[in-house]
Amino acid sequence: MIEEQGRIVAVEGDYAWVETRIKTTCNSCAVQSGCGTSVLSKVLGRKLFRTRIANALGARQGDDVMIAIPEDTLVRASLVVYLLPLAGLVIGAVAARILLPGSHEVMSIMAGVTGFAGGLLAAKTMIKRGEMEQTAVPEMVRILPRRIPVAENLT
């Protein structure tokens, strides 16, 4: 299971809205000063993500909780989101070369871009139809103990 810490921001019956921070690994990387991803991360700041999950543990608003999804769910979602558009790009470009042997490279590029767009559309369709949704819903695995504020230098 892949776990992430979140905070309950609202409770609605048997469900809770959990807010997590979207993190990058940029702070732990050795080349962060020369990396475009690191620069974008700093410019865009930390974003919040909210999701509605079953409140099986009876958590209350303000509780910190650990939520989790199975690893295979993340792998399948990654394959759909990344592999389908990439496969469309390659198939489109190769198909143009085979079907139009005397054509200019521009035709292969256009066919590749069209295949990429088709792959994105296929991924979006799969996600909207809910084919990924049943297994991609995180579950609440535990309520974390409340942190007690520490008084700073009382002397």
Residue 16 confidence class, pLDDT cut points 50, 70, 90: very high
Most confident of 24-28, 30-34, 77-81, 105-109: 105-109
pLDDT in tens, 23-76: 655 555 655 566 666 665 666 556 778 888 999 898 999 899 999 888 888 888
Core vs surface per residue 22-41: b (16+ CB within 10 A) or e? eeeeeeeeeebeeeeebeeb
| Residue 131 predicted with pLDDT over 70 | no
C-alpha atoms less than 13 angstroms from C-alpha of 134 in its C-beta half-sphere: 4
Rounded distance between C-alpha atoms, residue 74 and residue 86, angstroms: 18
Average confidence score pLDDT of the chain: 82
Residue 140 backbone dihedrals phi, psi, to 5 degrees: -80, 120
Assessment of whether the complete model's pTM goes beyond 0.85:
no
The pLDDT of residue 145: 85
